[in-house]
């Protein structure tokens, strides 16, 4: 029993078709829904069969309860098929958040007694999961230098089951040589899992570089409007059965309304992401020249240590980057954030709005991030880049003028008014 109509084989699914076109058509089948352009929001738990034979035909050897809403509806299937096509993998499965996609992708592969290698530049919550949870399950975690490349072969052990990459790295934006890491990992029969959220399926093709499972925090650029939480993991044929079984064993699922918002966002991803890229690069270049800025962390900048690898492997850049400031007082930092008018202070990114988030230097085991002053994670939204530059620069100017004499009590009042 099919839970969703399959996509017609001739509907823009050819990999030679430009990805802008495929983003618009992937996962769609208007003929199956009375000509509707968009897949309907299919809500439901119970899925009825019309006969005993139909009920039995819907059972899968690996999951005899597959004919149930937890395993997806037409809305789910449309999004999963679109993501698998766009990422270049075999099949995809949705999760209720990006972190759920990260953690359950690891759990789908790793077993008690295994050794797991995770990049030192990994997303903070993924690192916390690895440190707090995997050890309790008898899985040994080792963090490795994100710049190790093919040298990761020296760290592989007979029981290494997962090599986890994230490129660029979270907060620090180091670019990894994913192809070299994957080649070494596969020689040791390990699976390569990648968090590909920064680049999206538009700007990095993980399976062309040897990745086995690619993860998107669809909350970010896929949804694109900061109004839904969602994750998705796409696997190649080698990893698919493990990923799917692992997700089902833990009862992972996602609601059709959030998936519908992701399908909506997917259609405009190319247009939005190119604007994010252009604004992010322009803003990063301009901030490099500001006297308050010690360093801008953006692999798209020619002077960035990861620029050559980024040019070789990526098709573009997103709007997310880091700014390391010269040392300044707590009061100056507070004045900076209170002076911003177009940049919000908030978690997440990938929406249409610009964000400036104060972050602590990330926890590291191997390669510390040198940073003497405040560190800011910046997301360039869809506003005019000249306005964004003026706003950010003006706030930095205000912090410099304040010096170390700014009174914290006055700063707090100003921040509340902003």
* Annotation says 164 is catalytic: no
Q: Which helix (H) or strand (E) holds 355?
A: strand 354-359
In this structure, are residues 400 and 327 in contact, taking their beta carbons and an 8 Å threshold?
no
E strands present in 47-188: 91-95, 115-119, 140-144, 160-166
The pLDDT value recorded for residue 412 is 35
For the domain covering 19-267, report its CATH number.
3.40.640.10
- Give residues with Cβ within 8 angstroms of 312, minimum separation 6: none
For 129, the 3-state DSSP assignment is helix
270-417 CATH, one of 3.10.20.30, 3.90.1150.10, 3.40.50.2300, 3.40.50.720: 3.90.1150.10
CA distance 263 to 202: 15
- The predicted-structure confidence for 182-196, as pLDDT tens digits, reads as follows 999 999 999 999 999
Annotated catalytic residue, options 114, 123, 205, 267: 123
pLDDT over 90, % of the chain: 76
Residue 369: both structure tokens together: 């991030």
On the CB side of 101, how many CA atoms lie within 13 Å of its CA? 28
Q: pLDDT-derived band of residue 406, with 50, 70 and 90 as boundaries? A: very low
CA distance 20 to 269: 8
- The predicted-structure confidence for 378-398, as pLDDT tens digits, reads as follows 999 999 999 999 999 999 999
- The predicted-structure confidence for 42-80, as pLDDT tens digits, reads as follows 898 898 889 998 888 878 777 666 788 888 889 999 999
Domain 19-267 and domain 270-417 have a common topology: no
* Annotation says 70 is catalytic: yes
The pLDDT value recorded for residue 416 is 33
* Annotation says 123 is catalytic: yes
Annotated catalytic residue, options 11, 70, 364, 414: 70
Q: Within a 10 A sphere around the Cβ of 158, how many other Cβ atoms?
A: 7
The pLDDT value recorded for residue 80 is 96
- The predicted-structure confidence for 207-230, as pLDDT tens digits, reads as follows 999 999 999 999 999 999 999 999
The pLDDT value recorded for residue 30 is 77
CA distance 38 to 389: 37
Paired strand residues for 216: 232
* Annotation says 59 is catalytic: no
Q: pLDDT-derived band of residue 18, with 50, 70 and 90 as boundaries? A: confident
CA distance 332 to 162: 44
CA distance 290 to 338: 19
Annotated catalytic residue, options 28, 77, 127, 220: 220
Annotated catalytic residue, options 195, 212, 258, 391: 195
Q: Lay out the sheet containing 213-216: strands in order across.
A: 91-95, 231-235, 213-216, 191-195, 160-166, 115-119, 140-144
Residue boundaries of the structural domains of the chain: 19-267, 270-417
The pLDDT value recorded for residue 367 is 85
* pTM, entire model: 0.89
The pLDDT value recorded for residue 13 is 52
């Amino acid at each position: 029993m099919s839970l969703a109509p399959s996509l017609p084989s001739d509907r823009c699914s050819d990999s030679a078709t430009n990805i802008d076109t495929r983003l618009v058509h992937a996962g769609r089948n208007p003929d199956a829904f009375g000509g509707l352009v968009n897949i309907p929001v299919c809500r439901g738990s119970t899925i009825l069969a019309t006969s005993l034979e139909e009920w039995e035909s819907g059972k899968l050897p690996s999951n005899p309860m597959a004919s149930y809403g937890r395993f997806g509806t037409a809305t789910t299937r449309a999004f999963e098929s679109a993501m698998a096509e766009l990422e270049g993998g075999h099949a995809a499965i949705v999760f209720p958040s990006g972190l759920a996609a990260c953690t359950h992708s690891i759990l789908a592969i790793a077993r008690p007694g295994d050794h797991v290698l995770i990049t030192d530049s990994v997303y903070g919550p993924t690192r916390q999961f690895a440190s707090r949870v995997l050890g309790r399950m008898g899985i040994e975690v080792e963090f490795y230098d994100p710049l190790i490349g093919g040298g990761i072969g020296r760290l592989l052990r007979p029981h290494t089951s997962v090599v986890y990459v994230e490129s660029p790295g979270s907060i620090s934006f180091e670019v990894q040589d994913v192809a070299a890491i994957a080649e070494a990992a596969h020689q040791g029969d390990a699976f390569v899992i990648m968090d590909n959220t920064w680049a999206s399926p538009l700007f990095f093709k993980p399976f062309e570089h040897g990745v086995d499972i690619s993860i998107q925090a669809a909350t970010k650029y896929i949804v694109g409007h900061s109004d839904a939480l969602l994750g998705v993991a796409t696997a190649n044929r080698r990893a698919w059965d493990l990923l799917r079984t692992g997700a089902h064993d833990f009862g992972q699922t996602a609601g059709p309304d959030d998936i519908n918002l992701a399908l909506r966002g997917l259609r405009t991803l190319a247009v939005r992401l190119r604007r994010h890229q252009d604004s992010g690069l322009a803003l990063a270049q301009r901030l490099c020249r500001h006297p308050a800025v010690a360093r801008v962390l953006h692999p798209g900048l020619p002077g960035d240590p990861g620029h050559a690898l980024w040019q070789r492997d990526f098709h573009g850049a997103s709007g997310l980057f880091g700014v390391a400031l010269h040392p300044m007082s707590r009061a100056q930092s507070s004045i900076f954030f209170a002076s911003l008018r177009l940049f919000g202070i908030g978690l997440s990114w990938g929406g249409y709005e610009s964000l400036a988030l104060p972050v602590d230097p990330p926890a590291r085991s191997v390669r510390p991030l040198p940073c003497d002053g405040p560190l800011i994670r910046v997301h360039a939204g869809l506003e005019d880049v000249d306005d964004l530059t003026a706003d950010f620069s003006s706030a930095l100017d205000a912090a410099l003028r304040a010096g170390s004499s700014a009174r914290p009590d006055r700063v707090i009042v100003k921040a509340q008014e902003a």
